[in-house]
């Protein structure tokens, strides 16, 4: 069975009485070059253990199993259980766990499943849960790299640089944990049913240490969120709203001490700029 052949897919799904769930954002691949190219671009080989989120009917899982030493696929839709048993049952290096990945201790799961292997994450992420799943994978700091298929617009936002219209708090968040790279596009015609947007493959190579010194990580992200909460307003106004326990004079002094102009806007700052602001506020609070 070709898991990317549209006729084979339709016959398989019909035989099992499966119906696509819009709520779960299910779109299955119909072009075999896509999963092959994802696995190749992700750098997955026999030294790797791979956590896959949302295998669907298994086209990407199949390629992962053919290349990696071990694969753990986490799928939230239990109606796919008999389908996956049929499509992937021949692989003895695969374990499928029917669960919500957001309810798992991902770091612990990876330690238990992939001892001695290079841990990787791979996923074709439904658009509606892209941000929370990607955040959970990055925050776990459990992987060498995270390679995902997401809406192209989201991939561009994650890779965007300071000063661009796409640059935002999630860009800073992802770039703090990893170095993102947009690999290639996947058009709507590669799916059933066809989505209305272009998809893209994004590889996030995890940093082995933070990009700069930060006194308090939670405070750093609080500064980032406050800085983007009121776009097109000055950094000072954003920080004043986000840190109402501090005076404008105190916050203005922090900005000045960082060597930044008084009217600087948050969307123009690099990670190092946010770190300097956060470390300055940390001193005020301690």
Q: What is the CA 106 to chain-centroid distance, rounded?
A: 13
Is 199 within 8 Å of 230 (Cβ atoms)?
Answer: no
By CB neighbour count within 10 A (0-12 exposed, 13-18 middle, 19+ buried), where does 205 fall? middle
CB atoms within 10 A of CB 231: 13
**pTM score, two decimals?**
0.94
Residue the block writes with tokens 């390679």: 147
CA–CA gap between residue 150 and residue 34 (Å, rounded): 13
Per-residue model confidence as pLDDT tens for the chain (286 residues): 899 999 999 999 999 999 887 777 788 999 999 999 999 999 999 999 999 999 999 999 999 999 999 999 999 999 999 999 999 999 999 999 999 999 999 999 999 999 999 999 999 988 889 999 999 999 999 999 999 999 999 999 999 999 998 999 999 999 999 999 999 999 999 999 999 999 999 999 999 999 999 999 999 999 999 999 887 789 999 999 999 999 999 999 999 999 999 999 999 999 999 999 999 999 999 8
SS3 call for 163: coil
pLDDT digits (tens, 9 = 90+) for 32-83: 999 999 999 999 999 999 999 999 999 999 999 999 999 999 999 999 999 9
- Tallying the residues shown for the chain, one arrives at 286
SS3 call for 49: strand
pLDDT at position 26 = 82
Residue the block writes with tokens 């500064």: 223
Q: Is 122 left (phi over 0), alpha (psi -120 to 50) or beta?
A: beta
What spatial distance separates the first Cα and last Cα of the chain, rounded to whole Å? Answer: 63
């Amino acid at each position: 069975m070709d898991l990317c052949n549209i006729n084979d897919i339709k016959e398989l799904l019909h035989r099992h009485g499966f119906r696509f769930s819009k709520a779960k954002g299910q779109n299955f691949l119909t072009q075999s070059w896509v999963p092959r190219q994802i696995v190749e671009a992700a750098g997955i080989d026999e030294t790797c253990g791979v956590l896959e989120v949302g295998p669907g009917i298994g086209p990407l899982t199949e390629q992962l199993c053919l290349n990696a030493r071990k694969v753990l696929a986490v799928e939230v839709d239990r109606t796919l259980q008999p389908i996956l048993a049929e499509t992937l049952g021949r692989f003895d290096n695969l374990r499928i766990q029917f669960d919500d990945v957001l309810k798992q201790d991902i770091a612990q799961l990876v330690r238990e499943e992939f001892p001695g292997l290079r841990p990787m994450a791979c996923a074709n992420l439904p658009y509606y849960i892209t941000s929370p799943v990607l955040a959970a994978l990055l925050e776990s700091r459990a992987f060498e790299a995270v390679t995902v298929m997401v809406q192209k617009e989201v991939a561009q936002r994650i890779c965007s640089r300071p000063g661009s219209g796409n640059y935002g708090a999630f860009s800073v968040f992802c770039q703090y944990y990893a170095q993102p790279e947009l690999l290639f596009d996947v058009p709507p015609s590669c799916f059933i049913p066809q989505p209305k947007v272009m998809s893209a493959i994004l590889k996030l190579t995890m940093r082995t240490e933070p990009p700069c010194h930060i006194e308090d990580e939670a405070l750093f992200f609080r500064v980032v969120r406050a800085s983007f909460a009121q776009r097109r307003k000055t950094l000072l106004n954003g920080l004043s709203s986000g840190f109402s326990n501090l005076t404008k004079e105190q916050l203005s002094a922090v900005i000045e001490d960082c060597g930044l102009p008084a009217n600087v806007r948050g969307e123009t700052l690099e990670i190092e700029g946010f770190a300097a602001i956060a470390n300055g506020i940390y001193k005020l609070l301690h």
